[in-house]
Amino acid sequence: MMLQCPRAGVRNRLAEGSFVRIKQQNNYPPDRDSLSGFFYFAKLSAMNFWQKLKKPIMAIAPMANVTDAAFRRMFAECGAPDVFWTEFVSVEGLLSRGRERLLPDLWFSENEHPIVAQIFGGKPEQFEEVGALIRELKFDGVDINMGCPDTGVEKSGGGAALINTPGVAKQIIRALKKGVGDMPVSVKTRIGYSKNEIAEWIPSLLEEGLAALTVHLRTRKEMSDVPAHWDLAPGIVELRNRLAPQTILLGNGDIYTLSDAHARVKESGFDGVMIGRGIFGNPWFFSGRTPDVRERLMTMIKHTELFEEIYKSNLQKKEGALKNFDVMKKHFKAYVSGWDNAKELRVKLMETENASHVRNIIEKFLASSK
């Protein structure tokens, strides 16, 4: 498995705490002022992978401590989506002394293209610099999180807090575009903060010429406590068609099966959907397959061992662990469900401390079930 990470020059600059924008030898892209608008935007369009995707587009939702390199690798092997997304990463963190702890969240394998890096923050000036890093890491696109309701994310001015500061949101998009050059920029957001603000909020984003826009069809206040408002989707499509017809539009919320996904696209008029909770424990989601119990459990073992290999979760933090093994445990409940004795097996798995323990428990369970 080849995991992308910063090249030596970038790592050195990051380690020195003096990361500056990386310029390619041919100095492309040049400043916008030095080109005609037609040539500049034609070049961006040529590099925009979104326009080359077959519809309906199916994407994995970015989720902290979920859509990591190990998780995505399982989908790459069992049934890949049309677009992969990373976990969301703080731009402020990537510019701090703690950046080395965050860079693993941006690792990906060669089998995960196209892949979009998602970042969050509230200070426009930080996005241009981080955008240069994202470009150097060879992502296919970059996405700004403007919908996360986490209080920590909102305190930074990012996530759903940006719905209340549309002027800052616009500045962030523009700054990121400068940093990433010809890489397509997208946004994931919600229909409003405490109420439906589609009529004001969505146009303010579409005016910025986004490559793609994903809309979670709930407000920040609603979290995930109410059904997603898919009845509002046609109105969003109408705004897109009128204001930014080239922007790809994805919907998000309450999609648990592949048939759900196709039905939502057909009903809404969206170009595709992004799936979050529906993909837990189901790397076969996009293939449409339903594996038997043995295949589910053996895949879970592989996922666990890959997680340990990548993130050294069997070690202590001081010994080089990048993620705690407990992060992996949230997947066990999703993998182990829907059959007799599943609960008892989950209880045992929640007491494990490493991948070897998980393998031993699963192999004994499968042997006793023959």
> Which tokens is 61 given?
């939702």
Catalytic residue from among 148, 210, 244, 279: 148
Query: Which whole-number Å values give the CA distances from 225 to 47, 102, 219, in the listed order?
Result: 39, 30, 10
Contact 156, 184 (CB under 8 A): no
Contact 76, 286 (CB under 8 A): no
Q: Residue 240 corresponds to which amino acid?
A: R
Contact 349, 340 (CB under 8 A): no
Q: Is 148 a catalytic residue?
A: yes
Contact 272, 59 (CB under 8 A): yes
The rounded distance, in Å, linking the Cα atoms of 42 and 59 is: 26
Note the Cα 76 to chain centre separation in Å.
15
> Which tokens is 266 given?
């057909």
Q: Residue 269, by phi and psi: left (phi above 0), alpha (psi -120 to 50) or beta?
A: left
Reduced to 3 states, what is the DSSP secondary structure of residue 255? coil
Query: Which whole-number Å values give the CA distances from 227 to 165, 223, 252, 265, in the listed order?
Result: 26, 10, 11, 17
Q: Give the active site residues.
A: 148
